[in-house]
Amino acid sequence: MSMSFFERLRRRVEQVDSLLCVGLDPHLADLSAPNAESAKEFCLRLVDATQEIAAAYKPNSAFFEVFGSEGFAALKQVIASIPTSIPVILDAKRGDIASTAEAYAQAAFQGLNASAITLNPYLGRDAIEPFLVEPERGVFLLCKTSNPGAADLQDQLVIDQSHRSAYYLYEKVALLAQDLNRRDNLGLVVGATQPEALRRVRSLAPDLWILAPGVGVQGGDLQSAMQAGLRPDGMGLLIPVSRAISRATDPMEAAGDIRHEINQVRHQLRLARKSNVEGRPEIQTIEFNPIAEGLLNAGCIKFGQFTLKSGLISPIYIDLRQLVSFPELLHRVAAAYLPILKNLTFDRLAGLPYAALPIATAISLEGGWPFIYPRKEVKAYGTKAEIEGVFNVGEQVVIIDDLATTGGSKFESIEKLASAGLKVEDVVVLIDRQSGAGEALARAGYKLHSVTTLTDLLNYYEESGKVPAGQIKAARDFISSSA
């Protein structure tokens, strides 16, 4: 039985301890002469300098096709020069159907003997399946690219009426790839400049390999990309680098330095995950860090001395109503609720006034779920509605709030929703203050879910040095005495 493409790639990664994919992009400006022979020699020198540490090579067909039939012949010779143990990904971005797709596949896999190819998925599964026939030949689908115009189509919301949910178009591509990957030979292209998209794609396609261009000249941050896209086994992410190697004074040294940097991040992530397994909070995640820092910078979390409603003096104050003035942070916060909500069963969101209403609105826009909210004060005029929004008696709602402290406000809202004939099982908040809300709700038959906890936030601020240790200790002591 032949080895699948990704099994072959995995073995190569292990053999050279590298996730580095060397891009072979013979730009005209880099050539000694504007011809196919010069393009070939340019690539052969790179292969010779980097073949001991390259996990894969990615020649861009456009830089060869520009020279016509001579360029095609040069590309074939470059691929033939690469040791057979190293996978070759033809960056061609093909996209067509039927016999045309079959011809493209034959040209790439038989004509050029490429190991894999990049494809445009816009025409759907019948533009992809002709390339997946042989398990040993791989495909990387364009999913979320790094160019500025990517948002024109890739960020459009696609409504799934049957599941009462919504996805970005690029997320639907990830789900399609997950469905079509029956021979372990289908992966995705997600730009390293898009760490949030990488995180979302990884959550939807936990096992697929991702080709993540954009590190280096395009400005992608290696650590952010790897935190978002690397699988727990340290695999699943291939980092292509071209100009930072080809234009270096010493390409071999440059490639070695990049591999070393990649492996340093891999090692750090392994340690973080190991610490998490042993019971310490894992703070190094692409979702958590920007939110934790954003809440602090926006003044949603403050340290000092604050008089609470109860009259107590607290060394920490949380006010998530400030989120309305920080749209990017509000977007991140809303997106952080989605992984929890996608695992729950419900018909509508129920946002609690007042702090959670902007959050619930953002979640509704992000996930495509309708939402309602129970009023704090019943209207004395007009419809005199207790619940604002459209709903049907008997529907299931999930409560959205900003914080959970003791659970008191949640019970008041649950009672109003139940009086209107709605069912509640789950409550989802951004921050659990760990002051008994989870236990109180559980005793009443409800389940509390939180994006993070106050302990996690304090641990992050302490370990990252964002807040002085004395203020962290004061906050912990106050929480402990108030529990």
Domain harbouring 446, CATH code: 3.40.50.2020
In this prediction, residue 285 has a pLDDT band, given cuts at 50, 70 and 90, of very low
Does 295 lie in the same domain as 178? no
Does 254 lie in the same domain as 126? yes
HSE of 408, CA atoms in CB hemisphere, 13 A: 3
pLDDT the model gives residue 380: 59
Average pLDDT over residues 198-212: 92
- Examine residue 58 and state whether it is found in any structural domain, yes or no: yes
Q: What is the DSSP string of 237-298?
A: EEEEE-HHHHTSSSHHHHHHHHHHHHHHHHHHHHHHHHHHHTTS-----TTHHHHHHHHHHT
Name the percent of the chain lying above pLDDT 70. Answer: 92
Using the 3D structure, point to which of 235, 253, 277 is the last residue of a domain. Answer: 277
Give CA–CA dist 368/327, Å, rounded. Answer: 18
Give CA–CA dist 130/46, Å, rounded. Answer: 32
Average pLDDT over residues 457-475: 88
Q: Of 141-145, 402-406, 447-451, give the lowest mean pLDDT range.
A: 402-406
Does 163 lie in the same domain as 189? yes
Q: Of 92-96, 102-106, 157-161, give the lowest mean pLDDT range.
A: 157-161
Q: What is the mean pLDDT of the chain?
A: 89
- Examine residue 283 and state whether it is found in any structural domain, yes or no: no
Name the percent of the chain lying above pLDDT 90. Answer: 65
Q: Of 14-23, 285-294, 462-471, give the lowest mean pLDDT range.
A: 285-294
pLDDT at 283 over 60: no
Q: For the chain, report the end-to-end CA distance as a whole number of angstroms.
A: 61
Using the 3D structure, point to which of 255, 277, 299 is the last residue of a domain. Answer: 277
- Examine residue 457 and state whether it is found in any structural domain, yes or no: yes
Residue 218, domain extent:
5-277
pLDDT at 256 over 70: yes
| Residue 215 bridge partners (DSSP) | 220
Name the phi and psi angles at 455, rounded to 5.
Answer: -60, -45
Average pLDDT over residues 357-384: 83
Q: Which residues have a catalytic role annotated?
A: 93
The residue ranges of DSSP E strands in 86-204, in sequence order, are: 89-94, 116-119, 138-144, 157-160, 165-168, 186-190
pLDDT the model gives residue 159: 72
pLDDT the model gives residue 274: 54
pLDDT at 476 over 60: yes
Give CA–CA dist 117/100, Å, rounded. Answer: 15
Neighbours of 275 (CB within 10 A): 14
Q: Which position has the higher pLDDT, 459 or 190?
A: 190
pLDDT at 277 over 50: no
pLDDT the model gives residue 165: 58
pLDDT the model gives residue 320: 94
- Examine residue 318 and state whether it is found in any structural domain, yes or no: yes
Average pLDDT over residues 326-346: 90
Does 336 lie in the same domain as 242? no
User: Taking Cα atoms as reference points, which of 89, 109, 105 lies closest to residue 97?
Assistant: 105
Using the 3D structure, point to which of 244, 277, 310 is the last residue of a domain. Answer: 277
Does 294 lie in the same domain as 231? no
- Examine residue 474 and state whether it is found in any structural domain, yes or no: yes
In this prediction, residue 280 has a pLDDT band, given cuts at 50, 70 and 90, of very low
pLDDT the model gives residue 284: 37
Q: Of the spans 91-105, 262-276, 309-323, 425-439, which averages the highest pLDDT?
A: 91-105
Does 142 lie in the same domain as 121? yes
User: Taking Cα atoms as reference points, which of 64, 144, 70, 80 lies closest to residue 112?
Assistant: 80
SS3 193: coil
- Examine residue 439 and state whether it is found in any structural domain, yes or no: yes
Does 328 lie in the same domain as 213? no
Does 105 lie in the same domain as 42? yes
- Examine residue 44 and state whether it is found in any structural domain, yes or no: yes
Q: Which position has the higher pLDDT, 13 or 464?
A: 13
Average pLDDT over residues 231-247: 94
- Examine residue 282 and state whether it is found in any structural domain, yes or no: no
Does 217 lie in the same domain as 135? yes
pLDDT the model gives residue 287: 54
Average pLDDT over residues 373-397: 81
Does 306 lie in the same domain as 162? no
Average pLDDT over residues 319-337: 91
Name the domain count of the chain: 2
pLDDT the model gives residue 456: 86
pLDDT at 278 over 50: no
CATH code assigned at 106: 3.20.20.70
pLDDT at 177 over 70: yes
In this prediction, residue 378 has a pLDDT band, given cuts at 50, 70 and 90, of low
Average pLDDT over residues 264-288: 58
Does 377 lie in the same domain as 461? yes
pLDDT at 384 over 80: no
**pTM for the full model?**
0.62
Does 386 lie in the same domain as 321? yes
Q: Calculate the alpha carbon distances from 459 to 283, 303, 411 in Å.
A: 8, 14, 30
